[in-house]
Chains A and B, each alone.
Chain A
Amino acid sequence: DSGVTQTPKHLITATGQRVTLRCSPRSGDLSVYWYQQSLDQGLQFLIQYYNGEERAKGNILERFSAQQFPDLHSELNLSSLELGDSALYFCASSRGDGANQPQHFGDGTRLSIL
């Protein structure tokens, strides 16, 4: 158990819909990261937050947005969903925001678009 909690574990929805994925970091971790794992794109970094502030953006679509709340949990919002958004979405957390901080991953949310 990494200590990172992601909910829900599995989400099934239709094209055009909007969903919210939730992540609670390990106790004491200030950084939260979101990654997307899909068959065609592999594992890709989406976005990083540190103590409530956006720190870095990766290949995140404009239809996607995220935030980190004062209690340090984070949400990833996906809107106008397309079939290609079907993927496993991971949240990870680390103590600080530097590269020397190992990232600990949650179990992921499997998003299926029908």
Chain B
Amino acid sequence: AQTVTQSQPEMSVQEAETVTLSCTYDTSESDYYLFWYKQPPSRQMILVIRQEAYKQQNATENRFSVNFQKAAKSFSLKISDSQLGDAAMYFCAYNYGGATNKLIFGTGTLLAVQP
């Protein structure tokens, strides 16, 4: 069964600094998708970034980028120039690309941003 592991329950970063959130996953599939979702205190689930497994190039969205290591089954999120508004719970998610579009989520990392 596919699983997603986020080993850092909590992280803290100073404003304007860079932080990396870790995620590993387990799958026997070769074609799949990976996502990072942000859940601020308002509890919305906001898509931050996604990566297609067949693409070697790491995805980037403004200050957010990923380090995708397919062989190691690792998918970390780097947040550059951290802002107070980045404080939230971050969830890593996996979708194996079959007939369904079921997201499997990790347990989340709570990110605090210190002014």
Interface residues of A (CB under 8 A from B): 2, 31, 33, 35, 42-45, 48, 55-56, 58, 88, 90, 92, 94, 97-105, 107-108, 110
Report the nearest A residue to B100, measured CB to CB. A56
- Kindly list chain B residues whose C-beta atoms are within 8 Å of the C-beta of A2: 44, 46
Please give the distance in Å from B16's CB to the nearest CB on chain A: 28
Question: Of the candidates A31, A94, A99, which one forms a contact with B32 in the assembled complex, judged by CB atoms under 8 Å apart?
Answer: A99
Contact B45 A58 (CB under 8 A): no
Given contact pairs A100-B97, A105-B46, enumerate 14 new A-B contacts (beta carbons under 8 Å). A35-B103, A42-B108, A43-B103, A43-B108, A45-B102, A55-B99, A56-B99, A56-B100, A98-B97, A99-B33, A99-B98, A100-B33, A103-B47, A105-B45
Please count how many residues in chain B sit with their CB below 8 Å of the partner chain's CB atoms: 26
Set of chain B residues within 8 Å of A45, measured between Cβ atoms: 102-104
A44 partner residues in chain B, CB cutoff 8 A: 105
Contact assessment for A97 and B35 in the assembled complex, using a CB-CB cutoff below 8 Å? no
Which residues of B come within 8 Å of A, CB atoms? 32-33, 35, 37, 42-47, 50, 52, 91, 95-105, 107-108
User: How far is A98 from B101 in the complex, measured between Cα atoms in Å?
Assistant: 6
B92–chain A nearest beta-carbon distance, Å: 11
Least CB distance from B27 to A in Å reads 12
CB within 8 A of A102: which of B42, B50, B97, B98?
A: B50
Q: If A99-B95, A107-B43 touch, does A31 touch B107 (CB 8 Å cutoff)?
A: no
